[in-house]
């Protein structure tokens, strides 16, 4: 029974991924060029929420599929393109950082999973100095 449940779960996950990437062959690989893989956001005041854009370009000849983006901590949320990026086109992954309770230098990263040649995981990161609120 447990094995059957596991097989049903895996099939459901696979179908969901196939629906999300409709029109693109998930077995095809392509190449990616990071235009912004490391971002320095300077200094902000504690409590601010900032958006960090990470631009990239599909430099291959197959659609680029961003399968998932996993932030390294709960203070950052990721938003990424859900549709395949055509060859030669650019896209943006956005990180939203909540600085509440995070005073000091913050070095944060996110792991991007994509259908790229060689390695399918890419680390993108940002640094921000959070100043404590006066008072």
Say how many C-beta atoms besides its own lie within 10 A of residue 15's C-beta: 10
Domains of the chain (ranges plus CATH)?
Answer: 28-131 (2.60.40.10)
3-state DSSP assignment of residue 1: coil
Residue 27 in 3-state DSSP?
coil
* pTM for the full predicted model: 0.78
What confidence tens digit (pLDDT) does each residue in 39-56 have? 999 999 999 999 999 999
Average pLDDT, the chain: 85
For residue 8, pLDDT over 70 is answered with no
What tens digit of pLDDT does each residue of 65-76 get? 999 999 999 999
Q: Are 96 and 77 in contact (CB under 8 A)?
A: yes
Q: How many residues belong to the chain? A: 135
């Amino acid at each position: 029974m447990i094995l059957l449940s596991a097989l049903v779960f895996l099939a459901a996950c696979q179908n969901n991924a196939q629906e999300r990437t409709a029109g693109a062959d998930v077995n095809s690989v392509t190449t990616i060029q990071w235009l912004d893989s490391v971002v320095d956001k300077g200094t902000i005041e504690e409590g601010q929420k900032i958006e960090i854009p990470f631009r990239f370009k599909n430099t291959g000849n197959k659609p680029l599929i961003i399968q998932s983006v996993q932030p390294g901590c709960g203070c950052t949320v990721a938003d990424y393109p859900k549709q395949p990026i055509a060859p030669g086109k650019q896209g943006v992954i956005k990180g939203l950082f909540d600085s509440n309770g995070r005073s000091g230098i913050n070095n944060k990263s996110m792991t991007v999973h994509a259908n790229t040649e060689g390695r399918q995981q890419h680390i993108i990161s940002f640094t921000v100095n959070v100043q404590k609120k006066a008072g």
